[in-house]
Structure 1
Amino acid sequence: MRMRGRVVAPAWSLALAVLAVGPLLGNGYLLLRDAVSTPRSYLTDSALGLSDAAPRAVPQDAAIAVLSSVVDGGVVVKILLVAALWGAGWGAAALVRRVLPGIRTSGEVVAATLAVWNPYVAERLLQGHWSLLIGYAALPWTVVAAVSLRQSGTWWPLALCAGAAGITPTGVLLVAVLALSVLFAPGGIRRGRRLLGTLALVVVVSAPWLVATAMGGSGSAGSDPAGVTAFAARAEPGLGTVGSLVGLGGIWNSAAVPTSRTTAFAAVGTILLLLVAAAGASYLWRRRRNPVLTAVIVVGASTVAVITLAATPWGLSVGEWAARAIPGAGLTRDGQKWVALWMPALALAAAAGTRRFGRPRAHAAVAVVTLLIALPDLAWSLAPVTYPSSWETVAQRVDDDHGDVAVLPTGTFRRFDWSGSAPVLDPAPRLLHADVVATGDLPVAGGLVRGEGTRATAVESVLLAGGSPAELAALGVGWVLVERGTPGALGDSARTLDGLEAVFSDADLALYVVPDATIVRATTSDRAITAVAHLVWAGVVLVAAAVGLWRRMVRRERSTDEA
């Protein structure tokens, strides 16, 4: 019976994960706003974080490049996305079992539902932040791992959490904040050693983007302060900024929200979610002397407060100053993403609510239905995209022996008639076996947040001015790819294209070759050092997983022998 209870929450979490992304599991690829999956990607300099833009997708892009050499890249992303949502719910249940051992399976199911079915997950899915959701999923497991470290000095669970979340820089920082908060709380063994060890672990799993930042030089400069206001947390209909954040909503992009969150129902949904959580508030209050529980709640509530302040005029001014003056501060400009730290506290409170009433199962059923009703359009929220055949043809033609690729129209985002109505990140940088020279400029709310790509800016200027092929070649451009049917600036680029040889052309794409291009690549030593950093990160994940699997097998053998 006990074993059956432990299966219920993971099974329910998997069902919710599949329900959320349903159609995506069919044929096709995830291509929506910031999410780009392709049949195959490559270990280009950009994938390793060695371009002049900030390494925001490191080690994610390198990991997908390696995995997609064995399994179709679209399948890899789907598996990781479903695993993230599944892991978030399962982790919330495990968190309840570890921190609130008096709560039954029904409470674990409520916690799992809240962790998977909430505005944060919905909005990040629609924004295309599938890899950020891996870090989000690691948060409840991080608390469980930190408790194990406090009690027995066991390191591998925390190493696995930090390593998995480390697929993005934000993910590992989320885990670091939560882990250090729990490990700093009074009690447990070897407090100083566990804190120093965790800091060292965070640095090790952050090696790919830390090394890439140092090698590429992007970490020595600030970022565009316009991004602070553009990416600040946003008040949703019927809610102030703090109300949106407390309910796990408030993403900066008003277009990347479910339809139900664009009307006054956003307030209704938030109230329903908070009522489920509030039902357990008194139960948690009576256990406030539990240092782990207190740490989880304090870090979550403090995060909501800080993000709210950051969205005020005073907070925006401070953020703009930091963006200009502090290298790497741009990593924190999307303030709402940090509200993920509030989820474990809400999940615990929601689970605790099942102890307030005489019939835990009945209350759990009502709570689960309430959470689902609060966000009905999270179900079936993603659809796959099929690339026109010309993209495969171009991918086979392009190689890095002739230089990098410039793309027309200029800009980072596209609106193809075959990809749906939402803007999509240009898939060329992840599809082609050569670096695509991209500025990283982001159109946001009618404005433009400048990226760090200085060479790409020069390339765009040459194309828009109708410059000569020789000018492009001198900048390291060996190919020009024209993506038809999408808005964007073309300038006088037709004059440049007239001087180039077209090697492929159809209704969707045209590919031109630029003769005698200068080859611009990272040095062999830089690539080797960066590759080692990626291997260190991957090694932490694989070794931690192997240790955990081995220990589980040993425990099973001992249980069998004792039986």
Structure 2
Amino acid sequence: MALAVTGPLLAPGYLLLRDAVSTPRSYLSDAALGLTQAAPRALPQDFAIALLSRVVDGGVLVKLLLIGGLWLAGWGAARLVAEVLPEAGVGGQCVAATLIVWNPYVAERLLQGHWSLLVGYGCLPWVAAMMLRRRHWPVVFWIALAGLTPTGLLLATVVALVCCRGWRAVAITSLTAVGVASPWLVAAAVAESLSSTAGAGVSAFAARAEPGLGTLGSLAGLGGIWNGEAVPASRATLFALVGTVVLVAVVGLGLPAAIRRPQARPLLVLAVAAVVLPAAMATGPGMAALDAMMRAVPGLGLLRDGQKWVALAAPGYALAAAGIARWGRSAAVLACAALIAVLPDLAWGVGGQMRSVTYPAGWTTVAAMIEADPRPVAVLPPDSMRRFDWAGAAPVLDPLPRWVSAEVLSSGDLVIGGQIVPGEGARGREATRLLLEGASREQLAEAGVGWVVVESGSGALDLPVAYRDGDITLYDVGGTAPAASGRGLLIAAHVLWLVILVAAGVGALVTRRR
């Protein structure tokens, strides 16, 4: 199933789709360490990619991690069923694996480009299974792997705590979570990147009702992402109602068998909460309360995308669905076929929308020129999301910040449904203003701009040209900026995460051999 979903990515090229950006090489830049004004949303993911892309092409690396995340989700769901509902047999394990891989949540997060979130999603059934078996070394490993992103860490920690039996397990989980969170906690403190204005845009990121379904129904069917463009075609019509009815029916028919198992009950309760709470967050009072919380407490912007927390329902849904095997093998086969049939366009890159992309040659040349002299870079067009003819119809984040070690000045502003959701990049916003107002080379250099990159779709500037072709233009401005302080501390925090991941993995293997 993982290969059926990601098949187009097996072709040469790079994943470029909305938030998913892969490049041939990444570096331990200030941005990769979290030493910028932007909130540290992609730590320690960027650190890991920067290290591993020294030996493995970054595009290949991201594809392997994405495919591995989906594979781990299915395998982990089967292992969880074997632990909690052994009487469900292989039939129940197959139903659980099908449901956790082949569902609207996976489709929508793929189209939104959240590949690292799906790695964390794939770790959730493993966290639950290992915690229920009281295998603490594996639990630490899976939490650390899910911690590629802050969201993945929080998802894995919640699942672990729900499955904890005894204070020792709670203590191990809590200490692990703090250690794994150290990269983005330290980055937020050192760079002072957490803003109390993060509440802006709560309504834009609230869960969305799909055709024929209210918000609660959409979330119960594991759909409802805020971005109506990042959905498979089958979820944009009344067929979404059919898909949700089938998925909920499979879960409901198997629920009686699962609910009789005390080990399954905490995960089933969590599944209900993971649907009801995001639905409440999407109501008027819920959005108002969330907005007030985010403006009052810096850092709570992480909660803004309410639908992503529906991932917490996946382990419970998988267990409940596995219970349908009590009706026999034919019922299990029928359930698997039905789950796939009601979401046919998840196959082959979500209906071909997710595919490998080849960068124009000029991008490689410009990246190499900047890397030879890594001064701060201002970029046009000013939008965080841009469209390239060679990358497909969907918008994509600017790849340049992940391709060079130089600081790429960006405001981080997003336009969602005509509403501007402000980012945290004050320096980037000022550099963009100067460019749009036609500032001279001297003014830009004084503002700390070293290079200006104009990507496709923007006009020429009255600045010295270092490189130009039909896809990209590089201007040499000459400005510099002082190096950010705190790199050593941030590297140490990332190394701590890496040590936890590797040590726990070794500990889990040694325990297994014993």
TM-score range (shorter-chain normalised) is over 0.9
- How many Å separate the matches in 1 of 2:445 and 2:295? 33
- How many Å separate the matches in 1 of 2:504 and 2:444? 47
1:532 and 2:495 matched:
no
Q: What's the offset of the Cα at 1:145?
A: 1.8
**Aligned positions of 1:225-304 closer than 5 A:** 225-287=199-261, 290=262, 292-304=263-275
Counterpart among 272, 275, 287 of residue 316 in structure 1: 287
- How many Å separate the matches in 2 of 1:156 and 1:223? 39
Matched to 1:513, the amino acid is D
- How many Å separate the matches in 1 of 2:374 and 2:116? 32
Q: What's the offset of the Cα at 1:302?
A: 1.2
Residue in 2 aligned with 1:505?
A: 468
Are residues 400 and 470 of structure 1, via their aligned partners in 2, closer, same or farther at CA, if it must alter by over 3 Å?
farther
Are residues 400 and 322 of structure 1, via their aligned partners in 2, closer, same or farther at CA, if it must alter by over 3 Å?
farther
**Aligned positions of 1:437-476 closer than 5 A:** 437-476=409-448
Counterpart among 344, 359, 363 of residue 376 in structure 1: 344
TM-score where L is the length of structure 2 = 0.97
For residue 406 of structure 1, give the secondary structure of its aligned residue in structure 2: strand
Matched to 1:75, the amino acid is V
Q: What's the offset of the Cα at 1:226?
A: 3.1
- How many Å separate the matches in 2 of 1:327 and 1:418? 38
- Structure 1 vs Structure 2 CA RMSD: 1.3
- How many Å separate the matches in 2 of 1:514 and 1:142? 51
Q: What's the offset of the Cα at 1:300?
A: 1.6
For residue 511 of structure 1, give the secondary structure of its aligned residue in structure 2: strand
1:204 and 2:179 matched:
yes
For residue 228 of structure 1, give the secondary structure of its aligned residue in structure 2: coil
Q: What's the offset of the Cα at 1:395?
A: 1.0
- How many Å separate the matches in 2 of 1:481 and 1:361? 59
1:407 and 2:379 matched:
yes
Residue in 1 aligned with 2:26?
A: 41
Matched to 1:261, the amino acid is R
- How many Å separate the matches in 1 of 2:502 and 2:371? 32
Residue in 2 aligned with 1:120?
A: 105
For residue 206 of structure 1, give the secondary structure of its aligned residue in structure 2: helix
Matched to 2:496, the amino acid is V
Q: What's the offset of the Cα at 1:463?
A: 0.9
Residue in 1 aligned with 2:508?
A: 548
Q: What's the offset of the Cα at 1:223?
A: 3.1
Q: What's the offset of the Cα at 1:400?
A: 7.0
Unpaired runs of 5+ in structure 2? none
**Aligned positions of 1:389-408 closer than 5 A:** 389-399=361-371, 401=373, 403-408=375-380
1:519 and 2:487 matched:
no
- How many Å separate the matches in 1 of 2:75 and 2:34? 32
Are residues 47 and 397 of structure 1, via their aligned partners in 2, closer, same or farther at CA, if it must alter by over 3 Å?
same
For residue 390 of structure 2, give the secondary structure of its aligned residue in structure 1: coil
- How many Å separate the matches in 2 of 1:442 and 1:479? 23
1:484 and 2:456 matched:
yes
- How many Å separate the matches in 1 of 2:277 and 2:437? 45
Counterpart among 160, 170, 173 of residue 195 in structure 1: 170
Q: Deviations over 1:33-62 (max 9, x none)?
A: 000001111111001110011011111111
Counterpart among 77, 91, 97 of residue 62 in structure 2: 77
Q: What's the offset of the Cα at 1:225?
A: 2.9
- How many Å separate the matches in 1 of 2:233 and 2:437? 41
Counterpart among 400, 422, 427 of residue 399 in structure 2: 427
Contact between 1:42 and 1:430, CA under 8 Å: does it hold in 2?
Answer: yes
- How many Å separate the matches in 1 of 2:243 and 2:14? 30
Q: Deviations over 1:314-361 (max 9, x none)?
A: 001011111211110101100000000011111111101111x2xx22
- How many Å separate the matches in 2 of 1:416 and 1:402? 25
For residue 450 of structure 2, give the secondary structure of its aligned residue in structure 1: strand
Identical aligned residues as a percent = 52
Contact between 2:198 and 2:300, CA under 8 Å: does it hold in 1?
Answer: no
Q: What's the offset of the Cα at 1:402?
A: 5.1
Q: What's the offset of the Cα at 1:401?
A: 4.1
- How many Å separate the matches in 2 of 1:510 and 1:213? 34
Larger Rg: 1
- How many Å separate the matches in 2 of 1:182 and 1:224? 32
Matched to 1:522, the amino acid is A
Contact between 1:414 and 1:423, CA under 8 Å: does it hold in 2?
Answer: yes
- How many Å separate the matches in 2 of 1:475 and 1:62? 28
For residue 482 of structure 1, give the secondary structure of its aligned residue in structure 2: strand
The alignment covers a number of residue pairs equal to 510
Q: Deviations over 1:15-41 (max 9, x none)?
A: x00000111111111000000001111
Unpaired runs of 5+ in structure 1? 1-15, 556-563
Residue in 2 aligned with 1:5?
A: none
Contact between 2:198 and 2:299, CA under 8 Å: does it hold in 1?
Answer: no
Q: What's the offset of the Cα at 1:464?
A: 1.1
Contact between 1:402 and 1:519, CA under 8 Å: does it hold in 2?
Answer: no
- How many Å separate the matches in 2 of 1:126 and 1:161? 25
Q: What's the offset of the Cα at 1:285?
A: 3.2
TM-score where L is the length of structure 1 = 0.89
Matched to 1:246, the amino acid is A
Q: Deviations over 1:173-207 (max 9, x none)?
A: 00111111221xxxx4xx22321221111000011
